Amino acid sequence: MSFSEILKALVTKVEGSVGAFIIASDGIPVDAYIQKDNIDQSALSAEFSAILKTMNFALENLQLGNMDEFSVATERYKIILRKITPEYYLILVTEPDGNIGKARFFLKITAPKIQKEI
């Protein structure tokens, strides 16, 4: 199964999803499935890679362990990020009323599928 097929399945399973992305930790976008064209994959990848570096640095300094997942809620979207490997991350973007519990569940079971393909 291709990355695009996996991402499309993820987006269609979670109500309110806008798009799903695979990004590398260096900010390079790997693949995406976007239902709405108002999300810039390249910008999202670059900005979240910077956030990941800062977060991982802080977690290491605080000796809290490695980051597996984090989320951000804005007035327009909810963004949930899940680690696939130390170098790759899976991101799901939903509308504010999207099903976050379901999103987290499907991110958790989708990440290993992507890891097998990497």
User: Domain map of the chain by residue range?
Assistant: 3-117
Q: Are 104 and 69 in contact (CB under 8 A)?
A: yes
pLDDT at residue 39, rounded to an integer: 83
Q: Are 95 and 16 in contact (CB under 8 A)?
A: yes
pLDDT in tens, 11-58: 999 999 999 999 999 989 999 999 876 788 888 889 989 999 999 999
pLDDT at residue 40, rounded to an integer: 84
Rounded mean pLDDT, 73-82: 94
Rounded mean pLDDT, 49-75: 92
DSSP state of 112: H
**Residues 68, 57, 33: CA angle, nearest 5 degrees:** 45
Indicate whether 1 pLDDT > 80. Answer: no
26, two tokens: 């260096």
Rounded mean pLDDT, 56-64: 93
Rounded to two decimals, what is the model's pTM? 0.91
* CB neighbour list of residue 114: distance below 8 Å, 6 or more residues apart: 3, 6, 22, 84, 88, 90
3-class secondary structure per residue, 36-94: CCCCCHHHHHHHHHHHHHHHHHHHHHCCCCCCCEEEEECCCCEEEEEEEECCEEEEEEE
Region 3-117: CATH code: 3.30.450.30
Q: Are 14 and 41 in contact (CB under 8 A)?
A: no
